[in-house]
Structure 1
């Protein structure tokens, strides 16, 4: 790379934008990063509050299926920046990692802040300039326009990476305000929809008031032909949690089409219905049915109470076992973007080339959640975000080189 005097700008200081900035600076370019918030990577920091799940250790062929209809383009990014590459990059920043029992990969510190501090120090050493409170507001006469505390500022870099995020958790910085500016330039942008989000269910008031905020641990949630295992969380409005998020695209589509999404929760996915029937057939003496379920099946109080949400419990041990294995719920609505972990929609993937450059605007590259893809939590979101940032940086460098 011989472009040491060329200046490129990255708009958005989340994982995708900062990864692009790092790769561009390592290639010898002068890099400026713009962030509209008072500090960088706020959503990234929020993602680490419960333990920063960086990626997943499952075989890559299975890993890539998590991206649904966007699998083919996302696979190109991840083939060039694999989960192993991401893990090595994190450890190169002095943050050891480990693989959890579920196969998910975490930094040993579990938090985002030590990793982010080390990353920002590296970017500083590379000469990357980060401008906070610098909000992109579109183009003015071919220049990038920014609102800053000192007034509007126009910039004319040699190329730019847009990594402004989607439209979820807008209070952290991703508000989707960029959508009309790109559409005005002929870029197709799919409507934003909530992803990795909770769904509505009308609990009885007694159940809601007692159990909201409590998890159903180690369950399996099934919708149609798809099943996801993990944790489901009781919310006052309905149901959320990792096992629900893994099905959120299909659940959202069902509600959009039919106004409902039928799910079944297996409260004991590792115990066959026959074995449960045998356990439930044991005499319970003077024990209440709830205590019997706790002792012979091992159900927590929240799981026992959940069984009653479908009506009186069956008398037959077999029928009761079948309810434990397939507790039915009909979800009736989707929580909004302000409560969603991520968003679907964004810049249409057929509107960018393999380098992630906008077909309608040469020299402008797009990375991260701005693009129209979605994935469940579990490391898949962050992996693709990091990988897309690296892909956009490679594409920008290639584009500049091709121009001489």
Structure 2
């Protein structure tokens, strides 16, 4: 006896759940209010589609911070190598970049999505696009894959939040994650240096340090190192820049002890300390003297973050306490929640997509198990 499942949301988490369920014999319908599936997935693919990361699993799991205990069972059950194998099974080969990130060789999302939708069509998955979810359950089971609140123009507009709150389900407010931070630059610094990169720096906040690069914007700073320290920056409102992390304090002091001669201060710092014009200007902007200690610890005050419309992802969402270990809502039987709509966050680098895939697989498998064990249902699951 078959059973029906509605998937609400046609992003990667929803499509993953649909595939697993259809392979298990369920009648699956995907409902989404956008005109085509996976709009945000396609946008992410413009930058190469970073699917996952190749680093050791223990280090990988640590990237989820406080949410690691919640996400770990699902990621261990469907780890990065399983995601890579799935992608290869669609005929899309992958490669590992120099940073350890995993990409499709095409460096695009569209070929993968076309192959994926063709597979889903072959499995009999139906799609109701440009269709608003009413907030009710009209199938035997339902998987909510409604996304977070970043890039709302691509479909993740969080309109579902009030629907669940009316049912008494706790949903934490969404906030920007993997985004730039705002800093009150002077007009001179902003006008002259917006768009300039700070290369080979180290950023510290809240006891964590991250090497990488950042870019000065008119409103503050953005870049991978900033994104990785998002939770700490939101909590402390402070960051410290080491403009020469490759040099020890003693090495830098020795360089600055050289005779200055007739060189201007800027030229001396450029030649002796290896500082770029934007790094030198940043020292002045922070009101810091050009000493070795200050070059290695430029303190800046963070006044906020970019908006959700500009953020790569979001923090907040459905409280983790509202679902059990199989991602089923405790207050709504046979309704599961997966992906970015849950209250967890991770840095860029493949961690976001991996958790979306893994939670969807876990919920879909749990749903199949639940129906297989129900009276009148088949007692074994397809392999």
Structures share a fold, TM > 0.5?
yes
- Paired position in structure 2 for 1:151: none
Shift of 1:13: 1.0
Deviations 1:142-196 (A, max 9, x none): xx4xxxxxxxxxxx22211100111222111111111121122232212222222
When residues 136 and 325 of structure 1 are mapped into structure 2, their CA distance, relative to the original with a 3 A threshold, is: same
SS at structure 1 position matched to 2:373: helix
Matches within 5 A, 1:123-142: 123-139=120-136
* Aligned match of 1:67: 64
Deviation of residue 312 (structure 1)?
Answer: 6.0
Separation in structure 1 between the aligned mates of residue 288 and residue 318 of structure 2, nearest angstrom: 49
Which of 240, 263, 275 is the matching residue for 1:264?
Answer: 240
Within-5 A mapping of 1:4-403: 5-139=2-136, 144=137, 156-254=138-236, 261-311=237-287, 313-314=289-290, 319=291, 321-403=292-374
Contact 1:137 1:178 in 2 (8 A): no
Verify the 8 A CA contact 2:288 2:294 in the aligned structure 1: no
Measured on the aligned residues, the alpha-carbon RMSD in Å equals 1.8
Aligned residues: 375
User: 1:347 and 1:208 mapped to 2: Cα distance?
Assistant: 38
Distance of 2:52 and 2:13 partners within structure 1:
14
- TM-superposition CA deviations, 1:88-125 (whole Å, max 9, x none): 22222222222222222222222222222222222222
8 A contact 1:169–1:340 mirrored in 2: yes
Q: Matched residue of 1:161: which SS? A: strand
CA distance in structure 2 between the aligned counterparts of 1:218 and 1:394, rounded to whole angstroms: 44
Q: 1:214 to 1:116 in 2, by over 3 A?
A: farther
Residue by residue, what CA displacement relative to the aligned partner does 1:313-368 show, whole Å, maximum 9, x if unpaired? 43xxxx2x222222211111223322222122221212111111111111111110
Between the aligned partners of 1:233 and 1:209, the Cα distance in structure 2 is: 14
> How far apart, in 1, do the equivalents of 2:277 and 2:91 lie?
43
**Deviation of residue 372 (structure 1)?**
1.2
Q: Please report the TM-score for the alignment, with normalisation by the length of structure 1.
A: 0.88
Distance 1:106 1:280 in 2: 43
Q: Deviations over 1:266-323 (max 9, x none)?
A: 1222222222223333345444333333334433332232222112643xxxx2x222
Residues 1:113 and 1:280: Cα distance change in structure 2 (over 3 Å): farther
Q: Specify whether residues 109 and 253 from structure 1 end up closer, same or farther in structure 2 by C-alpha distance, changes over 3 A only.
A: same
- Cα distance, 1:241 vs structure 2: 1.5
Q: Distance in 2 between matches of 1:350 and 1:376?
A: 22
Distance 1:324 1:100 in 2: 32
Counterparts of 1:125 and 1:104, CA distance in 2: 31
Structure 1 residue 263: Cα displacement: 0.9
Gapped runs of 5+ residues in structure 2? 378-383
Structure 1: gaps of 5 or more residues: 145-155, 255-260
Flag the 1:188–1:61 CA change in 2: closer, same or farther, 3 A: same
- TM-score, normalised via structure 2 length: 0.92
Q: Aligned partners of 1:313, 1:51: CA distance in 2, in Å?
A: 41
Contact in 1 for aligned 2:206/2:233 (Cα 8 Å): no
179 and 288 in structure 1: CA distance in 2 versus 1, 3 angstrom threshold: same
Over 3 Å counting, the alpha-carbon distance change for 1:214 and 1:87 in structure 2 is farther
Deviations 1:219-240 (A, max 9, x none): 2110131112222221111112
Q: Distance in 2 between matches of 1:138 and 1:273?
A: 59
